[in-house]
Amino acid sequence: MTIFEKSVSGRKGYSLPDEPLHDSSPLSNVPEHLLRKRDPELPESSEVDVVRHYTELSRKNYSVDCGFYPLGSCTMKYNPRLNEEVASLEGFLHLHPHQPIESIQGAMEVMYELQKMLSEITGMDAFTLQPAAGAHGELTGMLIVKKYFEVKGEQQRRKVIVPDSAHGTNPASAKMAGFEVVEIASNSSGLVDLDNLKEVLDDSVAAIMLTNPNTLGLFEKDILEISKIAHKNGTLLYYDGANLNAIMGRVRPGDMGFDIVHLNLHKTFSTPHGMGGPGSGPVGVSAKLKEFLPVPIVALNDDGYYFDYNLPKSIGKVRSFYGNFGVLLKAYAYIRMLGKDGLKFASEMAVLNANYLRVKLSKLIKASHPGICKHEFVLDGSILVKEFGVKTLDLAKRLLDYGVHPPTIYFPLIVHEAMMIEPTETESKDNLDRFVEVIGKILEEARDNPETLKNAPYTTPVRRLDETMASRKPVMRWKKEK
Amino acid sequence: MSRYSYIPHTETEISEMLETIGVKSIEALFEDVPKVFDFKLDLPESSDEFSVARELKALSKKNLSLNEMAIFRGAGVYYHYIPSAIRYLSSRGEFLTAYTPYQPEVSQGTLQALFEFQTMIAELTGLEVANSSMYDGATAVAEAALMAVRTNGRNRVLISQTIHPEYRHVTNTYCHAQSIEIEELPYSKDTGQIDLEKLKSTLDDDVSAVIVGYPNYFGIIEDLKKIKALLDEKIMFIVVANPIALSVLEAPGSFGADIVVGEGQPLGNPSSLGGPGFGFFATREKFVRKMPGRIIGETKDVDGKTGYVMVLQTREQHIRRGKATSNICSNHAHNAVIAAMYMSLLGKEGLREVAIRSFDKAHYLFHQISKIEGMEPLFSGPFFHEFPVRLKGTSASKLNADLLKHKILGPMELEKDFPELGNSVLFCTTEAVRNEDLEFLLGRLEEIL
């Protein structure tokens, strides 16, 4: 039942100071026609109604706190509660963006230090904390590419190369920045095809967007060669940081030759995901691109921390104020607790978990690519269709009955019936073993009684939902029945 | 055992796992990674929870919290009272640590909460459809401009100079990238409202959209009816609204607005140095396929039970890639759910009461300030809970420095963003300003001026 249906006229769930109004009809000086004729239909509820309603809703949600959440490319690691505690400290939570800077020096110190730490982790020279999410970081990066070539007088560079294994946000971001997107096919090993790349690389190419390791969980081992070819052509190399969790403390995008990097703080630095946001997508750049960053960045001089707006070639602003400060605090706390060795250890355990799971699971369902993976890997579910007549989707739905969140399915698009699995470093060996066991059981069910999978799930708050109808005749708000 | 509390692996388990994989060491898992980075990160050592918590607490104390001051500054971020229940409900792990509802059967909590949020935004704006949030007010305005161009194919966007300066900057950034022409519309020096004559003479067949504030950056309530009357059928009418004000002001949808956007922070989200809040975005049903962002819809499951799913995903980047309506993927779902909780607690009465109290205090302050020598309200147009004042005798920065000594966060200084207004400031009040704070402020103003 929705909160609207639970509404009872006359109830309230708030209280305000009992102060007299200064004017008994305070709205009298607003022209009549600008005043609302009909109240908005908001629910009327007591505090206990609201607490029970949202508590009930929360119990219909799966989350990392509930169990294993191996969504590939999403890095659903455990979210330490210290992060929440620091972000809700009185002196951080209630700050106005236009407070005098001398009254927010502590907040600015956190941002300044975070800029430095992220620069060190990625091997870049400067960072902006402004972008609100990974895709927003991509857009920021692409705008920097654009401005850089505008200033250089190379407006003919209107193309951006994106591999077919890339996240959907990559082509969308490049397009939003006004570029033409050129997709290149991966080779049979799942990596960027050097010949393909060389073929499309000419002086009309502004940038190449790469995720490394890529969305198949494979490290682009030719990266130094790619970066050499790109730079020789005057093309910039953009790093999609969605998969940074695999290589933290081992290799840095900057050292691999990337010119621009975005990070997903909510993924790699566990800030957490909040049902799909807020995220945070800081962007780092090499020295030659620093002056193109959005304004302001946090800087330090003898008087203390200040907002530096003096970047004459800046692309402008990409969101209001300074970014998702509350999220930045969480990432800062996370990095401080793990420290330099901990970050490296985290990526090692993420890669260990992924390979362990890959080896065990690929005995049941073929992996899309053999050999060592990084933090994630892809299974090729086409055998399910061939042998049992069930789809990856059916297996995913059946997993819900076993209390496990399914992997990412049908992505990357280049693998049929794909299942993309990222266990992250915060899962124990026992949990991974249990997951393998569950997959084994479901495969037995698929063999013995495939209908069990096709009709799954059975035990969830609702069962398989009609998504086609939902989009064909969309109902996007609640309405009182007449 | 691992030294790090977030990583469960024991030495024994690590060895067993390496053996299962068939490699000798962790290093073997990274053989394909070039050794271009052989030094250690120049970062602090790992630390324990107790020490990091202490360090951050100390840093937080170097800031002056709004809770310790009387607040007369808004300018896009507003200090309203946030009921306690919100923090406890919203910090439940099932909301906080869930992801995008890719598996709707186990994400009904997220989906229903966002469906309710969309309903509330549709009610407030008077439009048919709202999405489940944007990053902030600024990106919502920018995306609205892009949507207008996508919808009518025209290439010129007129934006009022009294739209929040940061929103204008962001809109410029987004539009410049797509070679969309942006033109600023001046305001009347008398009323603070958009200059209707100027608007009329600027309109032509190339104009894709007109963007106005409601109330605008100066707190002035624009006459949406008069503006709409000037626009031809094809021009998209975009209104940037304060959601609290919409509980007392006629819904922009009733005046024919095509898109209504704004910053949702005032709805139960703390100011948090300006982020995260969220952007809200509503439009008419006929434009829904042009709208950016995630939308939640109602449907049935195989047993006929009502449930919720993400709808119209074919507009989105993960399906349409380069042809998507926007690259937005993660939004600000958690903040939107907080807003739904806030609106549920306050209800139609409460939201109205918050608006009226904010309004009443601002008008009282305006009235009293008009009597003070050395201060002069700038505009005669009707206003909500913010209004600008020109200072004589003392500079805005000096005034604010003096007020800060008394733990008053004084009005926003306008000269940087509006040099033509000279030494002027923007006062704001909400229901969280007590009557005694008002008197205290007035006493200080009389002293200083």
Residue/partner pairs of B367-370 with CB below 8 Å, 24 or more apart: B368/B438, B368/B442, B369/B427, B369/B442, B369/B445
- Among B96, B286, B386, most A C-beta atoms within 10 A, so best to mutate, is B96
Maximum CA extent, chain B: 84
Domain stops at, among B297, B324, B342: B342
Distance CA A159, CA A207 (A): 7
Judged against a pLDDT cut of 80, whether residue A361 lies above it is answered with: yes
* B303 inside domain: yes
In terms of Cβ atoms closer than 10 Å to its own Cβ (0-12, 13-18, 19+), residue A256 is buried
Please tell me whether residues B192 and B273 are part of one structural domain: yes
b/e per residue B153-189 (b: at least 16 CB within 10 A):
ebebbbbbbbbbbbbbbbbbbbbbbeebebeebebbe
Domain stops at, among B316, B342, B368: B342
Using one digit for the tens of pLDDT, what is the confidence trace for A448-473? 999 999 999 999 999 999 999 999 99
In chain A, CATH 3.90.1150.10 covers 339-469
For the residues of B232-243, what is the DSSP string, one character each? -TTSEEEEEE-T
* B26 inside domain: no
Into which CATH architecture does domain A83-338 fall? 3-Layer(aba) Sandwich (3.40)
Judged against a pLDDT cut of 50, whether residue B340 lies above it is answered with: yes
Domain count, chain B: 2
CB atoms within 10 A of CB B290: 18
User: Which residues of chain A neighbour B224 with C-beta distances below 8 Å?
Assistant: 34
Please tell me whether residues B169 and B264 are part of one structural domain: yes
* B22 inside domain: no
- CA triple A237-A75-B50, angle to 5 deg: 110
pLDDT of residue B40: 81
Which H helix or E strand runs over A113?
A: helix A105-122
> What average pLDDT score do residues B434-443 get?
97
B330 with A278: Cβ contact below 8 A: yes
Distance CA A268, CA A351 (A): 13
Residue type, B392: K
Judged against a pLDDT cut of 90, whether residue A359 lies above it is answered with: yes
* B4 inside domain: no
Using one digit for the tens of pLDDT, what is the confidence trace for B248-279? 999 999 999 999 999 999 999 999 999 999 99
Judged against a pLDDT cut of 50, whether residue A290 lies above it is answered with: yes
pLDDT of residue B2: 61
CA distance to A54, A78, A284, A344, B99, per residue, from A215 (Å): 35, 21, 21, 21, 18
- Residue B284 maps to which CATH number? 3.40.640.10
Distance CA B365, CA B303 (A): 59
Q: Which of A250, A332, A273, A220 is nearest to A73 (CA)?
A: A273
Range of the domain at B380: 66-82+348-448
Please tell me whether residues B286 and B405 are part of one structural domain: no
> What average pLDDT score do residues B326-336 get?
96
* B50 inside domain: no
Please tell me whether residues B376 and B326 are part of one structural domain: no
Please tell me whether residues B334 and B359 are part of one structural domain: no
User: In Å, how far is A220's CA from the nearest CA of chain B?
Assistant: 8
ipTM, two decimals, is: 0.98
Which H helix or E strand runs over B297?
A: strand B295-300
A476 with B130: Cβ contact below 8 A: yes
Q: Using the structure block, give the residue that is written with the tokens 């190339």.
A: B206
**Between A17, A173, A351, which is nearest B29 by CB?**
A351
* B141 inside domain: yes
CATH 3.20.20.70 fits A339-469, yes or no: no
Judged against a pLDDT cut of 70, whether residue B222 lies above it is answered with: yes
pLDDT of residue A482: 59
- Residue B364 maps to which CATH number? 3.90.1150.10
> What average pLDDT score do residues B403-407 get?
96
Please tell me whether residues B288 and B358 are part of one structural domain: no
pLDDT of residue B396: 97
pLDDT of residue B1: 46
**Between A45, A88, A319, which is nearest B135 by CB?**
A319
pLDDT of residue B29: 97
Please tell me whether residues B91 and B134 are part of one structural domain: yes
Domain stops at, among B342, B366, B396: B342
A63 with B95: Cβ contact below 8 A: yes
In Å, how far from its chain's centre is CA A265?
8
pLDDT of residue A297: 96
* B43 inside domain: no
Q: Which of B296, B294, B282, B236 is nearest to B129 (CA)?
A: B282
A55 with B89: Cβ contact below 8 A: yes
A221 with B34: Cβ contact below 8 A: yes
In chain A, CATH 3.40.640.10 covers 83-338
**Between B33, B71, B431, which is nearest A250 by CB?**
B33
> What average pLDDT score do residues B382-394 get?
96
Using one digit for the tens of pLDDT, what is the confidence trace for B83-127? 999 999 999 999 999 999 999 999 999 999 999 999 999 999 999
**Mean pLDDT computed over every residue of chain B:** 96
Please tell me whether residues B320 and B367 are part of one structural domain: no
pLDDT of residue B36: 82
Using one digit for the tens of pLDDT, what is the confidence trace for A4-63? 999 999 999 999 999 999 998 889 889 999 999 999 999 999 999 999 999 999 999 999
> A204 CB contacts (<8 Å, ≥6 apart)?
A156, A157, A158, A159
3-state secondary structure A351-386: HHHHHHHHHHHCCCCCECCCCCCCCCEEEECHHHHH
Using one digit for the tens of pLDDT, what is the confidence trace for B15-59? 999 999 999 999 999 999 988 877 788 999 999 999 999 999 999
A110 with B29: Cβ contact below 8 A: no
A95 with B65: Cβ contact below 8 A: yes
